[in-house]
Amino acid sequence: MASPPVGPSGPLFARMSPPEGMLKVESVKPTKPAADPGSLHKKMMQLLSSLWVTHAIGTFARLGLADAMEAGADNAEAIAKPRGLVTDRVYRLLRALSTCGIVTEGAGGQFTLTPLGRLLTSNAPNSMRTSAELLTEYNGEIWSHLDGALEGGIAFEALKGKPLFNWLHANPNEGARFQRMMVEVHSPETPAIVAAYDFSQFKHIIDVGGGHGMLLSAIIAAHPEVRGTLFDLQEGVDAALRGAGGPLPGVTFTAGDVFVSVPEGADAYLFRHLLHDYDDDDCIKMLKNVRRAMKPHSRVLVLEKTVPTDDTPGPGRWLDLHVMLLTGGRERTMPEYRTLFEKAGLRLERVLPTAHPAVEIVEVVAAP
């Protein structure tokens, strides 16, 4: 929680009397003018129709239209005909996407892909094509189950008949796509994490649920003397072995289940965007396994973004709903993390910011 203000409007000032003869100035917060009905209606329509934009972007990426434009097609006919699409309808899609910065429309029905739109191509350095596809497939479909989810249960399981990670295991192609999306979404966080923490203090780091291995790859590149172990389910290990997250020289690959046990003896255990996929009981099981495996002076580094306990803006409140629908997990406030760690025999040491707004480093140690 934020501390009480100590300036002129805070409790400390309220207990002080102004010197004799000095005019007391009241702190008055200006009232916001009431929004007119027309503005409210416009705002509500923008909120309600945002779904249209998301799905239009997903279709643009999924059908390879961004790739076609990157290859030189610059009008609806050139994009539509080779793909068996209706030219007029492709034109209308492009025209709509021009309003949100994906393409620009010039004279004579000519369209140009913008730098933002180029992120939807397959070969862009920071491509988000797979993310655009998956967020408008099952990741979008689960939101239609929000009504029922508020009564209990997990929306993804209602949609697909089994938990997410079981489904990905049973559908290897979808598992590979999921790993690609993780690379796309979390790539920009990785340099910020490596820059914000001194990983050189550790001789051995185990990345729990490390998936494609991107973070471990970046840590070892910055600190070649560090020995790394990537620990995950088999499909995560397979993604790392394919090089999905970058080179992993000298890394040990261990397939296993964090709910059963964790390799022993590391100086640091990394949990990157893993705890938020699970409810408190499951998180406590994982953390207790790590507590049993760690050395007395080991560190657990939870790489998540804590949810503010005030009205500070941030994406965590929406991501919280998404993981609730997808896996039954949750984003957590700092007090919620502290309680979680205590139940697993751990203690929250500190929370370090990074240069990326979507991730912090929550450092945890063994409780006495």
How far is it, in rounded angstroms, from Cα 80 to Cα 77?
5
* Alpha carbon distances (Å) from 158 to 41, 125, 144, 153: 34, 36, 11, 8
| Cβ-defined contacts of 78-81 (< 8 Å, 24+) | none
**Which candidate in 186, 212, 276, 322 is catalytic?**
276
SS (H, E, C) the chain: CCCCCCCCCCHHHHCCCCCCCCCCCCCCCCCCCCCCHHHHHHHHHHHHHHHHHHHHHHHHHHCCHHHHHHCCCCCHHHHHHHHCCCHHHHHHHHHHHHHHCCEEECHHHCEEECHHHHCCCCCCCCCCHHHHHHCCCHHHHHHHHHHHHCCCCCHHHHHHCCCHHHHHHHCHHHHHHHHHHHHHHHCCHHHHHHHHCCHHHCCEEEEECCCCCHHHHHHHHHCCCCEEEEEECHHHHHHHHCCCCCCCCCCEEEECCCCCCCCCCCCEEEEECCHHHCCHHHHHHHHHHHHHHCCCCCEEEEEECCCCCCCCCCCHHHHHHHHHHHCCCCCCCHHHHHHHHHHCCEEEEEEEECCCCCCEEEEEEECC
Q: Does residue 183 contact residue 214 with C-beta atoms inside 8 Å?
A: yes
Active site residue 273: no
What span, in angstroms and rounded, lies between the C-alpha atoms of 194 and 219?
6
- Return the active site residues: 276
